[in-house]
Amino acid sequence: MRKDIFFPPVEGIKLAITRTSEVDNIWEVHIINNNDYLIEGVIIVSKGYGENKKDGNKQQTSVLRHLIDSIPAKGTALVEPLDGSLLHLFNEYWVSYYVGKQIYDKRFVFVPESVVETNYSFIPELNKQGVLHK
């Protein structure tokens, strides 16, 4: 059972959302490994949920699962493109990975309307402006 598995705290892993096209309102989600070691078997489960801005009804996206074989030390990887029309939702990313035989697990949530220009910062690992979640 999950409660019987020891999950040490996740350190050095971040998610970033950057804009790729202002015309098409397309964004990208990246995972950043700031550690001095390789991470392997990276599984990221993403979903969006919340309320529709127009009518207040509940809204959710499909659950997507992404597998990245490995991310080198101080490396990055593209997780998924993200349509800008979904930024009014909670965008949740469960990240699990291995370092050797030890599994790590962390949940990242970008809250509604948090991916806005006032929250941009320069993300040196990507050489882009975007919103960073630690």
Q: What is the pLDDT of residues 72-106, one digit of tens each?
A: 999 999 999 999 999 999 999 999 999 999 999 99
Q: Across the chain, what does the average pLDDT equal?
A: 93
Backbone φ and ψ for 86, nearest 5 degrees, come out as -100, 0
What domains lie within the chain, and their CATH numbers? 2-113+120-126 (2.60.40.10)
pLDDT for 55: 84
Residue 76 exposed, middle or buried by CB count within 10 Å (0-12, 13-18, 19+):
middle
Q: How far is CA 34 from the centre of its chain?
A: 14
Can you give the pLDDT at residue 134?
A: 87
Task: Report whether pLDDT(22) > 90.
Answer: no
**Per-residue confidence band for 1, with pLDDT thresholds at 50, 70 and 90:** low
Banded model confidence at residue 5, pLDDT cuts 50, 70, 90: confident
Taking residues 63-74, report their average pLDDT.
Answer: 98
Ordered alpha helix ranges (H), 20-66 = none
CA distances from 47 to 101, 102, 103, 118, 133 (A): 27, 25, 22, 24, 16
pTM (two decimals): 0.91
CB 30 within 8 A of CB 78: yes
